[in-house]
Structure 1
Amino acid sequence: KYVYGAAVPRLIYVRWQSLVEPQTYEAYIVIPEPIQQAMVKPEKAFCAADAKWITGYRKGVTVGLAPGGIAKVWISGPCVRPIEVTRVQGEVVKEGPYGGKSEGHHFPLGETSKAYIEKYGVPYGSW
């Protein structure tokens, strides 16, 4: 999700539904002070796309969500190398998705995804 005009984040809350388990997780992600500083520090960077040098910033935060409740975070920006911030273990949300309004029911897994998981399994621990 894009958020424009926001200050540098100090804390990110994320809640997600893992379709393959099925399970709902939540996590609080603390963004350390040195990472916050790295987001506002200009960095000279070469952009291969147009072969120009720019002054770039790491203005993007990416939160990757993996099976088993893992959330991994990076900061990045155009033409600057990403920095891995942290990896956190989310906690199971017992009420399930939709704040408990679905009585614990999760979206069903699509047929293609279900067949893939049955064939290859879930890559727990790969993150």
Structure 2
Amino acid sequence: MSKFKLLVMCGVFGLMVGCVKGKNGLPYEGWRLGLFAPNYMQVWIETADAVDVRDRVFKRAMSGGASIQTPKNLKGNPRGWPSYPGWGAGKYVYGAAVPRLIYVRWQSLVEPQTYEAYIVIPQAIQQAMVKPEKAFCEFDAKWITDYRKGVTVGLAPGGIAKVWISGPCVSPIEVARVQGEVVKEGPDGGRSGGNYALPLKPETKAYIEKYGVPYGSW
């Protein structure tokens, strides 16, 4: 292909991943992978791996505790998903192009049960992650050019994984809702003898004892 034709293609399809300038085809240094759980529905992430569009694997891009709120006096509502889910607890995946697949294996501590889910990131979402958008940023009351460089995964009992992309000053876009599978070996692939990573927080335990797990609301 001639250089002229390549320039024309990038002009027409400038939002395509392959035509974006910068390291790994990104207009920013790296995208962020974050995870959270509904109020009181405690989660421990064994691993969250990412595969980018260049088929490179980033093992344990995130692990540990998911972001969660446990309001006192049982005033929190775990049902459903927030309109603006935020970024969750997470890390930046430096050195990666935009993701095409995310694998999460987690312990749902309120059940308890261990799940895994494969989350496919569609090409349209990959393109949206590198598309600049003019946005008013309330943090400093300025108009800026922002990007949806955050991938947020919500993890709920029953093996539900819900995914969004968002930026600091732009609205989230829903990516997918995935039904995970039970990991038959149990927590830590059977290495922990069936023992889960953490005990329930007092607020979580109190909520579950009074109201139970609101299956079907996610």
SS in 2 for 1:86: strand
Aligned counterpart in structure 1 of residue 207 of structure 2, from 105, 116, 121: 116
Aligned counterpart in structure 1 of residue 190 of structure 2, from 92, 100, 117: 100
Q: 1:115 corresponds to which letter in structure 2?
A: A
The C-alpha deviation readout for 1:3-58, integer Å capped at 9, x for no partner, is 23321000000000001110000000000000000000101111112111111000
Contact 1:26 1:90 in 2 (8 A): yes
Whole-angstrom distance in 2 between the partners of 1:89 and 1:30: 12
Unaligned 5+ segments in structure 1 are none
Whole-angstrom distance in 2 between the partners of 1:59 and 1:75: 7
Could you tell which deviates more after superposition, 109-118 or 79-88?
A: 109-118
Q: 2:216 corresponds to which letter in structure 1?
A: G
Correspondence 1:1-127 to 2 at 5 A: 1-2=90-91, 3-106=93-196, 107-127=198-218
Rg comparison, structure with higher value: 2
The C-alpha deviation readout for 1:32-88, integer Å capped at 9, x for no partner, is 000000000101111112111111000000000001100000000111000010000
- How many pairs does the alignment contain? 127
Q: 2:105 corresponds to which letter in structure 1?
A: R
Unaligned 5+ segments in structure 2 are 1-89
SS in 1 for 2:172: strand
TM-score by length of 2: 0.56
Off by >6 Å, runs of 4+ in structure 1: none
Q: 1:41 corresponds to which letter in structure 2?
A: K
Residue 111 of structure 1, CA deviation: 3.7
The C-alpha deviation readout for 1:86-119, integer Å capped at 9, x for no partner, is 0000000011111210122224434432221010
Q: CA RMSD in A?
A: 1.2
